A = this chain, B = another copy of it.
Amino acid sequence: MPSATPLYDVRGRGFARRAPVTEAWAWIDDRIVPPPARSLPLVECAGLRLAEAVMALGDWPPADRAAVDGYAVAAADTLGAGSYNPVPLTAAVAVTAGDPLPPGCDAVVPFEAAQAVGPFVEAIDAVAPGSGVERQAAWTRAGSQLLPAGRRLRPGDLGLLAAAGWGAGYGAGYGMVPVLPAPRVRILLAGGPKAGAPEQLGAMLAALVGRDGGAVEAVEDRTADLDALAEAFAQPGADLILSAGRTGTGPDDVAPVALAQAGSLDLHGIAMRPGGSAGLGLAGGVPVLLLPGEPMAALAAYELLAGRAVRRAAGLPAGLPHAATEVVTARKLVSEIGSVDLHRVRLDDDGRVEPAASPVWPGLAAAARADGFVLIPAESEGVPDGVPVTMYGFA
C-alpha cells in the first residue's frame, strides 16, 4: 500500500521536530470516538459505560409482597401478642420473602415472632399493618431512572439492575443493557532481543488496556520485521492498535515506516521524557499508537498518550485515571524546557514528594519505590522544593 503521507524518516538522521504532547492529545481527541452502543447481557457489562440511562422496566416489586419469611396475617389479629401472651393465628399462611400477600393479609409475622404448637401457630409479638411487607414499587417505580447515561457500571450496579428485574423476565430482550462495548485493542510487539522479551511488554500493556476499559483483541509478536508489522497494522478487526518497540532512529526502527506503509504516520516524535520517540497515525482508518520498546519509556508513552486513546475509545473520561492528590515537593524536580517530563516520585515520611528516579535514567529499584508520578509541563524548567504539585498515584 503506498504511503498516504510524506514520511520524514528519522532513521540515521534523528528527529527534526518533536510535537507537543497537546498536539498528540488533539489528534487523539479528534479521531477517536467510542464504538457504537450495543445491548449486551448484564454478565458482560462490568466496567462498561452505559450508552443511555437505564429506566426501571416496571414497578419493583410488581405487587405488594412478603418482605420476610413468616406467616402472612391481618395485623389486627396479633394485637396484644407477646412472649407471655401468645395469640393463636388461625388464619395464618406461611410465606417466604417475595411471595404475594394472600387476600385479607396486611403484615407478615417473621418466624422468629411466632411459634408452632402442634399444627397451630401462635404469635409471640404483635405486628403493625405493613410490617414485613414490601409495597408495590417500594424499590422503584416503572419508568423511573435507575442509572444515568454514561455511568461506568460498578459490581454493585449489576446487582442493582438484577434487583430491579433486569433478567427477572420482562419479555424479549430482558437483561440486555445498552452499553458502549469495550474497544478491541491489538497489541503488536516489535521488541526484538535487546528489549525485554515481547510477552513481557505485552503483560504490562494488556494490564493497562484492561484498566482503561479496553478488551485485548490480540497480542502479536512481529519483532522488527517491517512488512510483517505493516501487515499487522492493516489487518482489520481492531478498534485501536498499540505497537511497542522500534520507534527510534536506528536502522532497525521500522515501526514508523511500517505505519506509513500501512496508512499514514501523522506524528512521530513527541516532546515528552521518557517516551519521546512515540508516534501515531492511521491504518485502514484505525488509530495506531507507536510506543517505544524500552519498558519504562513504553509505560510513560502509554500513560500520556495510549491510555487516553483507549479511554476515549471506551467512552470513558479522557483524563488520567490515577488518583490525583495535591502534594508538596520535598526536593527540586529538574525538568527540560520543551518537553513534558514524567517524574516518578515517592512520598517521604512527612507526606511530601521527592524524586524516586530521573525521567531519563529511571534506576529500576528506585522506580519500584515510586508512589506515583508528577508531570512537569513543557514550558517549565522544573519545580523547586516546597511547591505544591499534583501527584498521580500508581495502583
Contact = CB atoms under 8 A, between A and B. Distances in A.
Interface string A258-289: 00000000000000000000000000000000
B154 A294 contact: no
A335 to B, nearest CB: 19
A199 B42 contact: yes
A290 interface: no
A97 B294 contact: yes
A15 interface: yes
A98 B195 contact: yes
Nearest to A148: B368
Contacts of A164: 364
A52 interface: no
Contact of A157 (B110, B252, B368): B368
Interface string A354-395: 000000011111011000000000000000000000000011
A31 interface: no
A76 B351 CA distance: 45
A112 B14 contact: yes
Interface residues of A, number: 92
Interface in A287-340: 294-296, 298-299, 323
Interface in A161-212: 161-169, 175, 193-197, 199-208, 210-211
A144 interface: yes
A159 B201 contact: yes
B363 A162 contact: no
23 contacts: A14-B69, A14-B114, A45-B203, A46-B207, A69-B250, A96-B248, A96-B252, A97-B250, A110-B249, A146-B368, A155-B211, A156-B299, A156-B394, A158-B203, A159-B196, A160-B364, A161-B200, A162-B203, A166-B200, A167-B199, A168-B195, A168-B196, A323-B323
